[in-house]
Chain A
Amino acid sequence: MINKIISVVCAAILVVSSLSGCSQDLDGTLKRGDVLTVFNYGEYLEPEMLELFTRETGIEVKYEEASTPEEMYTKYKSGGISYDVLCTSDYMVQRLIEEGEAQKIDFSLMPNAANIGQRFWDMTKAFDPNNSYALPYFWGTIGILYDTTKVKGPVDSWDVLFNGDYAGDIIMQDSMRDTFMITLKYLKYSLNTDDEYEIREAGDVLKKQKPDVQAYLVDEARDEVVAGNAAMAVVYSGEAYLGKEFNPDLEYVIPKEGSNLWIDSWIITKNCTNTDAAMKFLDFLCRKDVAQADFEYIYYSTPNEAVIESMDEDLKNNPAVMPTDESLENCEVCTQFDPKVTELYYDLWKEIKAL
């Protein structure tokens, strides 16, 4: 008896869940037209701009968020929601383009795309060689945020993290790729190297450095320096800008050996049937007032020259917001590895963390 009931209930659950799956698919294809599904990082767009877009164009926006490129990729690939446009990081954009998930965009049809400076289109070529898929949205660097009251002299090299002078006062990123990138740069290698010897050398340097590291953190890295618990931390440029707002003693530097230059870009997915609406949305994001509002909400570096021009001198000279051309000279955009190299990275990262 009880077994029968269980099987009936299970069957009912199965039927209901498969039905709801169907209706969702129907919704997805039938209601399309004036609805655009947008996928973005969390807190990466001024929410009022979405309302403004709907008011101006009548196109309704369904907004979805994720926190890491990997999470985005998994959600996108699982196909639960059919995303029309999405914004993700350089190497993930590259992966999506290579897997045929992105649609070519004719940027000449978007009048506001001209606001994006040529130098940023050139940066984007690292992962989209013909500038035919990706629209630059925000960009930035990884560098050292340090407390000037705790550090002797200005910091200009990754060396301060590895020479033992600030043992116990250093915060590193608890993120495999970022931590390896800066170490490879310190050793004067390319951060996209797939040479096993070079990668292993970086791993050895990190193992040797571990006793000097106070903690490996992600989001709290900035806060620890702001609170004065550590002398320096490896952070993203946007974090550095905010950190300085909280504590004026802090400075941000892109070390002279170079660093990672990252670009987040928008792409239109191959599932998007209403490319017109998608183009309108991307064009809208490039418009000066909209880009300005987004910039003031996020404070990462914007590729929108119209916004850059209207910035005041303080912002323009802030290396966390507008890095100088010299400091970017040795910076590289990171690209996707092949699985064998990724495997090596995983092994070395585990060894470092297990130490």
Chain B
Amino acid sequence: MLRYTVRMSRLKGKDMNRKKGRLLAIPYIIWIAGFTIIPLIFILVKAVTDVNGSLTSANLFAIFDPLHRKALLMSLSVAFFSTLICILIAYPASIILRTSRITNKSIILFILILPMWMNFVLRIFAVQLLISNNGVLNYILTAVNLPPLKIINTPWAILLGMVYDYLPYMMLPVLNSVLSIPEDVIEAAQDLGSNRFRVLTHIIFPLSLGGIGSGIIMVFVPSMTEFVIANILGGGKIQLLGNIIEQEFTVTMDWNLGSGLSVSLMAFVLITSMIFGRNNEDTAAGISL
């Protein structure tokens, strides 16, 4: 009987602890409700209504309007290519780092993260100064008798800015997944007669897919919704979907259309996250097996 009451009180104590634990979540819940859920509801409501407040689906499908189609294609291609270039830079770099003799990999990691300490708008302004018509890059090019490079205010400048800004977000997960492949697995493959190329394609690559997947999400999603880089490096001439949404809210004051476009953009983002997010789980399971 005594034992039983002790157990009960212990259980109660545990229960109380759980309740206290839940209390700790309140600031987070208020934060999420105030800054994510409620604004999202506002946007959803605005997206499916028109100026007079009656229901419409026009704003949601406005993304396919000829006026916005170019921006959609531009957003998609800039996001696609910046993600691709990030992978092409980050993956070989990670492999080289894994095989290199540098023992203190945390220093390398530190150098990679270092640019992220600076405000990203500031870094984009720096890029603007570098590649502008009379910028440092063209100064050097003309000094060695090469033709100046006119890439400012073109899609290439935006692409460059995005790769520069988002590379660490690809580098970190990819490097992490490549470094965490156990040496035993590779040695086992070599014992069984795999050459270096086979080890790369059959062991290292499949085992690092998870890192690539999260890298893709972390680069593709922000570059899809980006508008500041396009504003600064595109000179107001090149519009991404983000720019159009911004304009709807600040210039033309059509908040319903702006919200509709935001929601359709969210759909695009969700689709990519689902494709690459699932990939992520699969490989994680593969590693634990």
Contacts and interface: CB of A to CB of B under 8 A. Distances in A.
Interface of A: 1-2, 5-6, 9, 168, 174, 176, 210, 213-217, 224, 227-230, 346, 349-351, 353-355
B235 A1 contact: no
Interface string B201-237: 0000000000000000000000000000000000111
A349 B239 CA distance: 13
B153 A214 contact: yes
B236 A174 contact: yes
Contacts of A168: 150
Given A2-B22, A214-B153, A354 B71 contact: yes
Given A6-B26, A229-B133, A353 B19 contact: no
Given A1-B19, A2-B22, A214-B153, A353 B235 contact: no
B287 interface: no
B251 A216 contact: no
Given A229-B132, A350-B252, A216 B67 contact: no
A346 B33 CA distance: 34
B237 A354 contact: no
A328 B237 CA distance: 31
A353 B247 contact: yes
B70 interface: yes
B108 interface: no
B29 interface: yes
Interface in B90-131: none
A6 B67 CA distance: 44
B167 to A, nearest CB: 26
12 contacts: A2-B22, A6-B26, A6-B33, A168-B150, A215-B235, A216-B236, A216-B237, A217-B235, A229-B133, A353-B247, A354-B68, A354-B70
B252 A214 contact: no
B274 interface: no
A353 B133 contact: no
Contacts of B244: 350, 354
A9 B237 contact: no
B67 A213 contact: no
Contacts of A355: 70
Given A217-B236, A350-B67, A9 B251 contact: no
B237 A215 contact: yes
Contacts of A346: 251-252, 254
Contacts of B239: 353-354
A1 B19 CA distance: 9
B30 interface: yes
A215 B153 contact: yes
A354 B22 contact: no
B266 to A, nearest CB: 21
Contacts of B237: 210, 213, 215-216
A217 to B, nearest CB: 6
Contacts of A176: 251
B185 interface: no
A212 to B, nearest CB: 11
Contacts, number: 58
B67 A354 contact: yes
Interface in B248-270: 251-252, 254
Q: Which 8 A-B pairs have the closest CB atoms?
A: A215-B235, A216-B236, A174-B236, A346-B252, A229-B133, A228-B134, A215-B153, A229-B134
Nearest to B248: A350
Nearest to A211: B237
A215 B230 CA distance: 12
B271 interface: no
Contacts of B150: 168
B55 interface: no
B11 interface: no
Contact of B235 (A5, A216, A349): A216
B23 interface: yes
Nearest to A346: B252
Contacts of B152: 229
Given A229-B133, A346-B252, A354-B67, A6 B29 contact: yes
Interface string B23-39: 10010011001000000
B123 to A, nearest CB: 17
Contacts of B67: 350-351, 354
A224 B134 CA distance: 10
Nearest to B138: A229
A214 B235 contact: yes
A196 B252 CA distance: 19
Contacts of B134: 227-229
B156 to A, nearest CB: 15
A216 B251 CA distance: 15
B186 to A, nearest CB: 49
Contacts of B29: 6
Contacts of A351: 67
Nearest to A6: B29
A170 to B, nearest CB: 11
Contacts of A6: 26, 29-30, 33
Interface in B150-192: 150, 152-153
A350 B134 CA distance: 30
B23 A5 contact: yes
Contacts of B19: 1
Which of B132, B134, B235 is packed against the most chain A CB atoms within 10 Å?
B235
B241 to A, nearest CB: 11
